[in-house]
Amino acid sequence: MSDNTSEPKTSTKLIAEALGTFLLVFGSIGTALFASSFGVAENNTPLGVGFLGVALAFGLTLMAGIYAWGSISGGHFNPAVTFGLAVAGRFAWKDAPGYIVAQIVGGVVATTLLVLIGTFGPDGWLSAAQDGGFASNGYGDGAFGSPGGFGLGAAIIAEIIFTAIFIMVILGVTNPKRGAGNLAGLSIGLTLTFIHLASIPIDNTSVNPARSIATAIYGGPDALLQLWVFIVFPLVGGVLGGLLHRALFEPAAPKPIQAPARVK
């Protein structure tokens, strides 16, 4: 095999971002829709994978995407990550719009294919999934809102804090000198898993606007009305995480002191 170390083209990076986001959304939302609740066995043992299985699906699909395409695009697969890395100085702002569009496209293609699968499901399955919000993020006691009945304030706080934590972990484990090296993808995937374990009951866990957009477009009017929360506040959390990491661990290098000009 030839050793090709040239920088990937912008188009290649965008394809990698779309594919990674597609994998994340298709695998994790597919798990939430098809496998999280699957009735009970004769001994009343649940057959679905539940919150734990969904959380693992998010972490495992992200991990797979990072190891498959992270070396091409950086493995963001999430507009909040793109924002956080840009704020921290790890990513060029000029490249952010293309990445975000690619991420949204990848996520929407994923949920569109999940809808296509659902059209061939049991009678009423797809309409029931959409009436239930299609695994969208939500708050309050609506038909699809917070699984635990948490309100708007809880969703806002959770999205900001958990996204900031996520960004700080990503920046820490990918530091070129002090990072986790080949284990970075594992660390990032496990972090997303614990975030979902903690916050699915609050608002179905976003920390990723592309994931939220992809499900809301098929989740009905209530999901679309609440979507702004899961666009704005993960981005706020991403910016906060990037700023905190940069201030605490990678402050800007001080400007060199210039010697005074000689008097002729």
pLDDT tens string 200-219: 999 999 999 999 999 999 99
Does residue 253 lie within any of the structural domains? Answer: no
Query: How many domains does the chain contain in total?
Result: 1
Please give the pLDDT value at position 37.
79
Name which of 55, 12, 53, 61 is nearest 35 in CA terms: 53
Please give the pLDDT value at position 228.
98
Please give the pLDDT value at position 123.
95
Domain at 164, CATH number = 1.20.1080.10
Name which of 171, 153, 157, 256 is nearest 207 in CA terms: 157
What type of residue sits at position 63?
A: M
Low-confidence ranges of the chain (pLDDT < 50): 1-3, 254, 256-264
Please give the pLDDT value at position 2.
35
Domain that holds residue 69: 10-248
Please give the pLDDT value at position 47.
78
- Exposed/middle/buried for 75, CB within 10 Å: 0-12, 13-18, 19+? buried
Please give the pLDDT value at position 130.
95
The pTM for the full model equals: 0.92
Per-residue pLDDT reduced to its tens digit, 154-203: 999 999 999 999 999 999 999 999 999 999 999 999 999 999 999 999 99
Measured between alpha carbons, how far is 192 from 62 in angstroms, rounded to an integer? Answer: 8
Does residue 185 lie within any of the structural domains? Answer: yes
Does residue 236 lie within any of the structural domains? Answer: yes
Whose tokens are 């290649």? That residue is 12
Whose tokens are 């990550």? That residue is 81
Does residue 151 lie within any of the structural domains? Answer: yes
Please give the pLDDT value at position 256.
47
Does residue 257 lie within any of the structural domains? Answer: no
Does residue 259 lie within any of the structural domains? Answer: no
Phi, psi of 40 (to 5 degrees): -130, 155
